[in-house]
């Protein structure tokens, strides 16, 4: 969870001189961890989407009175209607997914006590076509947002990786982004941030930094995969 006073995406965009008029985040969790927290506090028009009841309560309480914030209390899915989510600590994901970070990285098995039923919408029911910064972190369901995206934001941040996890729809996401003129700008431990051609210049320094970080992520993933395999092969013995 990111409780930094200024989020990385905010600092980087500020340095680039990019000032969005409408930002949107799908998968907020707690208000302080919102990837767009700083834009909210700056008074930028903000669309937030979050289905988990306790998180909704916290968002409403924290951002109470902020007229620039519009909260949609739904999940985003490939179809509208009721869907089942598993909620475990900071992770909330569609139970029908083939993989999510908590399943792949933590070995989590869905428990019926963790399942919640929520209302879902397709993203074109939420997106009015004016979003110029979009952040999506919904544990493997990012494609459900992108496939119905009306806007063509200058900047898109997606959860694509993390430890040994890789987004199950990365191929579809990459194909859509390439087709619509987006290039990778930078990565952090879980997200890839893309910019649309002509919106923000990607410098040589940006490209070099991205290449080094991608190498680091590959090495980190291999190390964690080996460590996990060793634990599975040689489980710690119980002693009486």
Once rounded to an integer, what is the mean pLDDT over residues 177-188? 98
Pairing of strands 182-187, 45-49: unpaired
Specify the pLDDT at position 229.
80
pLDDT bracket for residue 231 (50, 70, 90): confident
Write down the pTM of the prediction.
0.93
Specify the pLDDT at position 21.
98
Domain for residue 108, yes or no? no
Domain for residue 81, yes or no? no
Tell me the C-alpha distance between 161 and 4, whole Å.
20
Specify the pLDDT at position 1.
60
pLDDT bracket for residue 240 (50, 70, 90): very low
Rg (CA), the chain: 18
pLDDT bracket for residue 107 (50, 70, 90): confident
Q: What is the mean pLDDT of the chain?
A: 93
Domain for residue 92, yes or no? no
Domain for residue 132, yes or no? yes
Q: How many domains are contained in the chain?
A: 1
State the residue range of the domain holding 30: 8-75+124-231
Domain for residue 114, yes or no? no
131-165, pLDDT tens digit by residue? 999 999 999 999 999 999 999 999 999 999 999 99
Domain for residue 202, yes or no? yes
Once rounded to an integer, what is the mean pLDDT over residues 73-79? 96
Question: Given a cut of 60, is residue 238 above it in pLDDT?
Answer: no
Specify the pLDDT at position 87.
92
| CATH number of the domain within which 40 lies | 3.40.50.150
């Amino acid at each position: 969870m990111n409780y930094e006073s200024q989020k990385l995406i905010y600092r980087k965009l500020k340095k680039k001189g990019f000032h969005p008029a409408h930002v949107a985040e799908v998968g907020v969790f707690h208000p302080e961890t919102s990837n767009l927290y700083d834009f909210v506090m700056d008074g930028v028009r903000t669309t937030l989407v979050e289905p988990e009841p306790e998180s909704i309560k916290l968002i409403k309480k924290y951002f109470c009175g902020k007229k620039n914030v519009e909260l949609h209390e739904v999940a985003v899915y490939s179809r509208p209607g009721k869907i089942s989510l598993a909620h475990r600590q900071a992770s909330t994901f569609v139970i029908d997914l083939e993989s999510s970070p908590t399943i792949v990285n933590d070995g989590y098995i869905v428990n019926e006590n963790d399942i919640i039923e929520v209302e879902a919408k397709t993203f074109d029911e939420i997106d009015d076509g004016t979003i110029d910064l979009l952040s999506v972190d919904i544990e493997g369901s990012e494609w459900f947002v992108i496939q119905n995206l009306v806007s063509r934001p200058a900047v898109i941040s997606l959860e694509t990786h993390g430890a040994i996890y890789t987004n199950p729809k990365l191929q579809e996401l990459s194909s859509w982004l390439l087709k619509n003129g987006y290039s990778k700008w930078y990565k952090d431990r879980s997200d890839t941030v893309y910019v649309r051609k002509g919106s923000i210049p990607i410098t040589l320094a940006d490209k070099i930094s991205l290449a080094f970080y991608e190498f680091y992520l590959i090495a980190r993933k291999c190390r964690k995969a080996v460590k996990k395999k060793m634990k599975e092969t040689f489980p710690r013995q119980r002693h009486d």
